[in-house]
Amino acid sequence: MAVAVVVITAVTIWAMFIPAPLQELADPLQSPNPAKAAWYFLGLQEMLLHLPPRALMVLIAIVSAGLGLLPSWDRQEDTVGHYFRSPTGRRAALAGLLLGLSLPLLLVVADEYWLNRGAWLPDWPVLLATEVLPFMLTLAGMAFIYFSIRLLLRANHSEGLVGLFVFIMTSLVVLTAVGVFCRGPNMTFVLPFS
The range of the structural domain enclosing residue 173 comes to 38-187
Spatial separation of the C-alpha atoms in residues 67 and 136, rounded to whole Å: 19
Q: Which residue has the higher pLDDT, 104 or 120?
A: 104
What pLDDT sits at residue 149? 95
Let me know if residue 108 belongs to a domain. Answer: yes
Let me know if residue 107 belongs to a domain. Answer: yes
Residue 85 has pLDDT above 80, yes or no: no
161 beta partners: none
Per DSSP, 29 falls in state T
What's the rounded mean pLDDT across residues 99-113?
Answer: 93
Let me know if residue 24 belongs to a domain. Answer: no
What pLDDT sits at residue 74? 76
**Entry pTM:** 0.78
Let me know if residue 13 belongs to a domain. Answer: no
Let me know if residue 109 belongs to a domain. Answer: yes
- Contact criterion met (CB below 8 Å) for 163 and 92: yes
What pLDDT sits at residue 71? 81
* Percentage of residues in the chain having pLDDT higher than 70: 97
What pLDDT sits at residue 118? 63
Number of domains forming the structure of the chain: 1
Let me know if residue 19 belongs to a domain. Answer: no
Type of residue at 161: L
Let me know if residue 21 belongs to a domain. Answer: no
What's the rounded mean pLDDT across residues 43-59?
Answer: 91
Residue 113 has pLDDT above 90, yes or no: no
What's the rounded mean pLDDT across residues 139-150?
Answer: 95
Let me know if residue 22 belongs to a domain. Answer: no
What's the rounded mean pLDDT across residues 146-169?
Answer: 94
